Every structure is written in C-alpha cells, then in structure tokens.
C-alpha cells in the first residue's frame, strides 16, 4: 500500500509541516512561482517515469493555432494586435483515464495531504478534480520540434511535474507582468515586445522531479521547441476551485481526440 511518505520526498519537502507550508506560501507570493526540486521520492519518480514511457504510445498528438488568450483569430481585428496573433502549439497528451487507478500519480492527486498543501500555499478554499474522466491528470509529450506557443492559461493556477526534461530546447519561458485577469488589466506593449522577440522573457531551467506552481492565467508563458531526440515529458495536475467542472467538449476533442 502506497502512502504519502513513499511518494513525496518529505525530508526535503515536509508538506504537512506548518512552517514549511508558510515558507512556500511566502515564496510564491514573493517570486510569483514556486519551484520544488526533487519533490518526488527517488522510488516514486522512477515508477512514474516508467509509467510515462509505457503510456507514450497512447498519446494523442494535436497541432493548434491559437491566440495568446487561447482564442481563434478575430477576422476584423487588426493583424498587428498582439491579442490577435496566432501561435503554434503541438504536443502529445495521455489523458487521465489511461493512467492506472493505483498509480502514484492518482494517489498524489487525490491525497488530502497534498491538496491541503496546495490549498494553503495558494490560499484557496477548495480543490476539486474535473468531473470528466480525461482532464484531471495529463501526461504531456513534446517530441523533437514540438512546442507550446505563447499563451495565458484559462485556469488561474498550474501545477506541473517535470518527468523528463529536454537536453536542448523545450525551455519554459515566462513573464509575470502584462496581465491581471481579475482587474481586466492587459498591457499590450509588454506582451507585444515579448512575442515579437524585442524583449527577453525569464527562462526556467526545470530539472526532472521538480514540481512547479505558477499563476498561468496572469503569466504569459511558452515552451520553446524541443531540439533533443528524447521527448520532454511533463505532467499537469489539474484542479478546479469549484465542484462539478468539466473541460469543454471542444477542448477535450482538441487535446485528447475524444470527449470520454
């Protein structure tokens, strides 16, 4: 029987410890991002990597053109408007229903300890899984040449686990200015400078086994094209602040190739 002790590297990340949780909370407030290296135990990391490699052949690959707000191009809006510029994203995805019910990933995702940690760090009242059977945990595969174009997420926060980083390319780049979706603030100049390559974004070098938390709805971010032969494998742990939420059927068709 697995338990949180065997999955999370509790020595380095005592997620049940009040002081540690507070430290993480202050850290994300200060740096806008929380990076927890070696989050998984060595044993659990190895098991999840093996599982991810085994599932790779079931990945559904999609190619999309989208704006930075993940919309389609608006025909009567100026082409030069940064909100109307098309980005390319292509990657493979294994949805939740293909992940073994007894896997460490499901254990971690459903664990009260882990959810309480996330809630306290991000100051959230509740965390719920998606009610559809595909969207809660996703294994993402970026093969050579594949990338995620500049975008803001629809979800307010993102939780990612790096399982296999790419040696060349496949870098996570971001800025923390440019948008505050709560106050409907958007700074087109800052955004335009980044997507046109006239300003330099921050780059995060994410090692394998690292858990990253960030506010993807307000941070413009992308994954640069992977240049190495082996894929970049990244797991997203997707929660909602409200109960009974499904990912839209359109989005499920796009990312998973099916709705259930």
Ligand X SMILES: O=C(O)CCC(=O)C(=O)O
Which parts of this chain interact with ligand X (CB under 6 A)? 148, 153, 160, 172, 216, 221, 223, 234, 236
Give whole-number Cα distances, 62 to 23, 88, 135, 253, 254, in Å.
39, 10, 15, 10, 7
Q: Please identify, using beta-carbon distances, which residue of 107 and 150 lies nearer to Fe ion.
A: 150
Total residues contacting Fe ion by CB under 5 A comes to: 2
Binding part of the chain for Fe ion, among 127-135, 202-210, 213-221, 246-254 by CB under 5 A, reads 213-221
* Cβ partners under 8 Å of residue 145, min gap 6: 225, 226, 227
The yes or no reply on residue 104 touching Fe ion (CB under 5 A) is no
Partner interacting with residue 223 (select from ligand X, Fe ion, none; CB below 5-8 Å by kind): ligand X
In total, the chain counts a number of residues equal to 260
| Closer of 21 and 210 to ligand X (Cβ) | 210
Q: How far is the CB of 104 from ligand X (least distance, A)?
A: 20
Q: How far is the CB of 187 from ligand X (least distance, A)?
A: 20
Q: Are 142 and 223 in contact (CB under 8 A)?
A: yes
CA dist., res. 209 & res. 49, Å (int): 10
Instruction: List binders of Fe ion among 147-166 (CB under 5 A).
Output: 153
Q: Minimal distance in Å, beta carbon 70 to ligand X?
A: 9
Q: Among Fe ion, ligand X, none, what binds residue 236 when CB lies within 5 to 8 Å by partner kind?
A: ligand X
Could you tell me if 175 and 220 are in contact, meaning their C-beta atoms sit under 8 angstroms apart? yes
| Least CB distance to ligand X at residue 256 (A) | 13
Does residue 171 interact with Fe ion by CB under 5 A? Answer: no
Site map for Fe ion, 215-244, x if CB under 5 A?
-x----------------------------
Nearer to ligand X, 84 or 224 (CB): 224
Determine if 92 is a binding residue for Fe ion (CB under 5 A): no
User: Closest distance between ligand X and the C-beta of residue 22, in Å?
Assistant: 26
Choosing among Fe ion, ligand X, none, which partner's interface includes residue 191 (Cβ < 5 to 8 Å by kind)?
Answer: none
82 contacts Fe ion (rule: CB under 5 A): no
Residues 6+ apart with CB under 8 A from 139: 52, 55, 59, 93, 94, 99, 163, 233, 234, 235
Binding site for Fe ion (CB under 5 A): 153, 216
């Amino acid at each position: 029987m697995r338990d949180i002790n065997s999955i999370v590297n509790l020595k380095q990340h005592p997620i049940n410890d009040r002081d540690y949780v507070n430290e993480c909370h202050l850290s994300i407030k200060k740096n806008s991002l929380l990076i927890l290296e070696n989050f998984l135990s060595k044993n659990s990391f190895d098991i999840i990597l093996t599982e991810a490699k085994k599932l790779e052949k079931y990945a559904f690959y999609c190619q999309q053109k989208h704006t930075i707000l993940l919309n389609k191009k608006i025909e009567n809006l100026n082409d030069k408007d940064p909100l109307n510029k098309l980005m390319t994203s292509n990657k493979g995805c294994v949805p939740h229903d293909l992940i073994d019910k007894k896997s460490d990933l499901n254990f971690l995702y459903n664990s009260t300890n882990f959810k309480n940690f996330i809630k306290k760090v991000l100051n959230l009242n509740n965390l719920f899984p998606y009610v559809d059977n595909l969207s809660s945990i996703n294994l993402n595969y970026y093969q050579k040449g594949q990338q995620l174009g500049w975008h803001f997420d629809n979800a307010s926060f993102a939780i990612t686990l790096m399982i296999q980083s790419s040696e060349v390319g496949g870098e996570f780049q971001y800025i923390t200015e440019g948008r505050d979706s709560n106050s409907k603030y958007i700074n087109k100049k800052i955004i335009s400078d980044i997507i046109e390559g006239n300003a330099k974004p921050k780059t995060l070098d994410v090692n394998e086994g690292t858990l990253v938390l960030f506010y993807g709805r307000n941070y413009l971010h992308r994954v640069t094209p992977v240049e190495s032969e082996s894929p970049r494998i990244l797991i997203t742990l997707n929660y909602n602040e409200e109960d009974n939420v499904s990912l839209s059927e359109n989005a499920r068709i796009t990312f998973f190739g099916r709705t259930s």
